[in-house]
Amino acid sequence: MPITPTSPCPCGSGHPHGRCCARWHAGEAAPDAEALMRSRYSAYVTGNSDYLLATWHPDTRPQALSLDDAPGQRTQWLGLDVKRHRVTGADTAEVEFVARYRIGGGSAMRMQEHSRFVRQDGRWYYLDALA
């Protein structure tokens, strides 16, 4: 089912996609690290690799990012649960979350991450994940 501006946002905020993550995908600066992290999850759901690269800090960003799935191995994103958003400095923050997904017809899996973010020139960027 395609995501429209009136569809619930994939990030789980409860807001329509057009008033939530679609704003950040269209170029508006996310107001905080949690909003950026949610919009990055939505970008994975919608296959927006350009947005993912643009919001990845240049020091840690990969050269390229392919979201193309192997035949029969389509990733289906099932939901996002933000556990904690913590401001760690004037321009730094951390977000802990669990994303659920399924590959192909397999069982649902969980990806738990503790991510670090940095703000530069008024924009938040994903820096890396803590081990």
pLDDT digits (tens, 9 = 90+) for 76-101: 999 999 999 999 999 999 999 999 99
On the question of pLDDT at 1 being above 70, the answer is no
Q: What is the pLDDT of residue 98?
A: 97
Structural domains in the chain, CATH included, are: 17-129 (3.10.450.50)
pTM of the model: 0.93
C-alpha–C-alpha distance, residues 102 and 100, integer Å: 7
Q: What is the pLDDT of residue 68?
A: 79
C-alpha–C-alpha distance, residues 101 and 78, integer Å: 5
> In this prediction, what percent of the chain has a pLDDT beyond 70?
95
Strand locations in 41-131 (E)? 75-89, 92-103, 109-120, 123-129
Q: Which residues are bridge partners to 82 per DSSP?
A: 97
